[in-house]
Chains A and B, each alone.
Chain A
Amino acid sequence: MAGHEDKPARVGDVMSRQVFTVSPTDTAQSVARLMAEAGVGALPVEAPGVGTILGIVTDRDILTSVVAKGLSSSTAVFEFMTVSAECCEEGDSLLLAAQKMHDLQIRRLVVVDEKRHAAGIIALADIARVNPELGGLILDGMNRPAAEPAQLEGVSS
């Protein structure tokens, strides 16, 4: 190791700052088009004109809550999004973000600023890239039986 003092990594150091957001009135098909273009599997949902993050929608939500149920591809996002997505802040430690992902069995957290606007997204892969051991611990959490009542974004049952 170099002779400098290691600072604990923060969420802001590894998160993706390019955030594509959608509106609650967008449709499943428009969200799918944006996911395909942007190469992402999850998009924060924000209040139009306000910017506050209201929730998150994932490619899995579209599959399980729209396609599998035979709903129209014009179904609005607010009908199948996860409300109140789990969030963290840029200044949070990676350990804290990893703990949340582990406990909630989710792979992504929306990073919000003080106004609760999206500042970025941090994914399990971002954490694993800089700290493979921590990434492995989160993955272990994914593989344990799902927590009892809560159905959270990304939970496999």
Chain B
Amino acid sequence: MKVLTQDRLWSEAVILEEPRRVLRVQSTRDAFLCLKNHWPLPDGKAKRDALAACDRVIDGLDAPDAARDAFIKAAEEAKFSVRCWTGG
């Protein structure tokens, strides 16, 4: 299992909406878990990129908002309605 004992918080939350659910995500670890376990698309380029970005951020190789930006792109790929103050 990926090391989930660490997390890196984002500057702003991202809210993803589908007709029957709302996902509020504001940290890298939670984004990773959403992509891994609660995502409507089994695969996709943006999803893979976002998972890789989460890995890099958790490993301290990138800034937290790099994961946030990649997560927003993955959400758009998965046809979520994305709400956030600052775009990806």
Contact = CB atoms under 8 A, between A and B. Distances in A.
Secondary structure at chain B's binding surface: helix, strand, loop or mixed?
Answer: mixed
Interface in A51-77: 73-74
A103 B36 CA distance: 41
B78 to A, nearest CB: 16
Interface in A74-119: 74
Interface string A17-29: 0111111011101
A36 B9 contact: no
Nearest to A28: B24
A30 B30 contact: yes
Interface string B11-36: 00000000000111111011001101
Contacts of B27: 23, 26, 30
A33 B33 contact: yes
B26 A38 contact: no
Given A33-B30, A36-B37, A37-B4, A23 B24 contact: no
Interface in B32-87: 33-34, 36-38
Interface in A21-50: 21-23, 25-27, 29-30, 33-34, 36-38, 48
A20 B36 CA distance: 18
Contact of A26 (B22, B30, B34): B30
A33 B34 contact: yes
